[in-house]
Amino acid sequence: MKNRLFIVSALLIVAVVFGCAVSRRTKKSKEKSIVTGADQPDQYVPYLTGKRVAILANQTSIIGKKHLVDSLSALGVNIVKIFGPEHGFRGKASAGTSVADETDSATGIPVISLYGKKNKPSKEDLANVDILVYDLQDVGCRFYTNINALVRVMEACQENNKELMILDRPNPNGYLIDGPILDMQFKSGIGMFPIPMAHGLTVAEFAQMANGEGWLTNKVNCKLKIVKVANYAHDMPYTLPVPPSPNLNTQQSILLYPSTCLFEGTYLNHGRGTHFPFTVIGSPELKGIYSFSYTPTSIKGMAETPLFMDQVCYGLDLRAYDTSLLRKKKQVNLQWLMELYKAHPQKEKFFDSKLSKEMGVIERLVGNGLFRKQIMEGKSEKEIRASWEPGLSAYKKMREKYLLYR
């Protein structure tokens, strides 16, 4: 009886205090709001009650405007530990920076980093856990590392006979399925699975695909419990309420990311060291060719040693670019990279990752060994895209089996 009263009280508190998610989509008439998995506590708080819970979360893991861990702790859910991904549990670490274990100052719960000495929970980590909850906002790209963390925790849960609950969230680039399928000889930390650059899935759909396609070690299957997003379809625009990482700090950067992240594999700065990363691209060597300029500097928590630090860079300003054009074409934009390659006066440097302090090389980002050569030979976009087939079309067909939203 007491447990029932606690559950009812908890749900009433959630409904009154936190409310539902607030991403709204309207046309001529009012439509229902998108409601994330986390913002439907009536769907999962009763299931967690009485269990020892671990949570993989970061700053995007929220109920309403309050952090998921803070909210569930206040409701009496027994959270015994937290796992933190790249950028850390509260999202304050720079990209690629190793993150240490800590104790969360707000709740006193131990935080175990999965982006430091280890990248998946150990048997000891899960010994006192009944269920692990995954709630990370993704942006729909192969080279965004949250899906890597997801598969690793799926493996850890299966190995230790634990259930994984996924609180699903919309993909802000959910309309986009584009790019070559990863050639597994270029498998790396920024590309681990045979999917295109933009995969068009939510994390729960990706988890089902990883199970179904045998991508977990030894082709095992993880037991999943999914809390779906309500009132959602892949083609719906969705504005993220919290930046998913320090360098994806605006909606513009998130929508440009599938296209502009390719510049990670070039000898150009793409806004790291500014407060508008992934929305500007440039180099000191483009002076006199482009009039727009900016100067990267050291910014703690974002880019402490950016490429061309304290040097004036000249190039493209995409901060006001109309991203609806990307949605209309349903393709990543290759023209920006093709244009800058043609304009660069020292083409032998353009793809030289040894000169770059940024992450990755073009082969790992694009996912094949052809792209560099195609750009250097002046191939047309049509010719480049033709080389992505039949893999891309086969992926789109395979993807249909795992969709939770239409």
Q: Kindly report whether the global pTM for this prediction surpasses the value 0.75.
A: yes
Q: Where does 172-289 have alpha helices with state H? A: 203-212, 251-260
Say if residue 193 is in the same domain as residue 284.
no
Say if residue 256 is in the same domain as residue 221.
no
Is the residue at 268 inside a domain?
yes
Say if residue 43 is in the same domain as residue 189.
yes
Say if residue 125 is in the same domain as residue 46.
yes
* DSSP secondary structure letters along 185-215: GG-BTTB-SS--SEE---HHHHHHHHHHTT-
Last residue of a domain, one of 193, 211, 227: 227
Say if residue 273 is in the same domain as residue 347.
yes
Say if residue 47 is in the same domain as residue 177.
yes
Say if residue 89 is in the same domain as residue 205.
yes
Nearest to 263 by CA among 176, 182, 375: 375
Residue by residue, pLDDT tens for the chain (406 residues) are 444 444 444 444 444 344 443 344 434 333 589 999 999 999 999 999 999 999 999 999 999 999 999 999 999 999 999 998 877 787 665 555 667 788 888 889 999 999 888 889 999 999 999 999 999 999 999 999 899 999 999 999 999 999 999 999 999 999 999 999 999 999 998 999 999 999 999 999 999 999 999 999 999 999 999 999 999 999 999 999 999 999 999 999 999 999 999 999 999 999 999 999 999 999 999 999 999 999 999 999 889 999 999 999 999 999 999 999 999 999 999 999 999 999 999 999 999 866 555 445 899 999 999 999 999 999 999 999 999 999 999 999 999 999 999 8
Say if residue 97 is in the same domain as residue 194.
yes
Is the residue at 11 inside a domain?
no
User: What span, in angstroms and rounded, lies between the C-alpha atoms of 185 and 26?
Assistant: 44
Say if residue 185 is in the same domain as residue 261.
no
Q: What's at 42, amino acid-wise?
A: D
Using alpha carbons only, what angle is made at residue 262 by residues 258 and 266, rounded to the nearest 5 degrees?
Answer: 165
Is the residue at 214 inside a domain?
yes
Is the residue at 313 inside a domain?
yes
Nearest to 204 by CA among 184, 232, 181, 235: 232
Q: What is the dihedral of CA 322, 324, 325, 331, to 10 degrees?
A: 130
- Is residue 273 helix, strand or coil? coil
Is the residue at 191 inside a domain?
yes
Q: Alpha carbon of 57 to those of 5, 182, 284: distances in Å?
A: 28, 27, 39
Is the residue at 25 inside a domain?
no
Is the residue at 96 inside a domain?
yes
Nearest to 126 by CA among 89, 155, 91: 155
Determine the structural domain holding residue 195 and report its residue range.
Answer: 37-227
Give me the number of domains the chain comprises.
Answer: 2
User: What span, in angstroms and rounded, lies between the C-alpha atoms of 337 and 76?
Assistant: 51
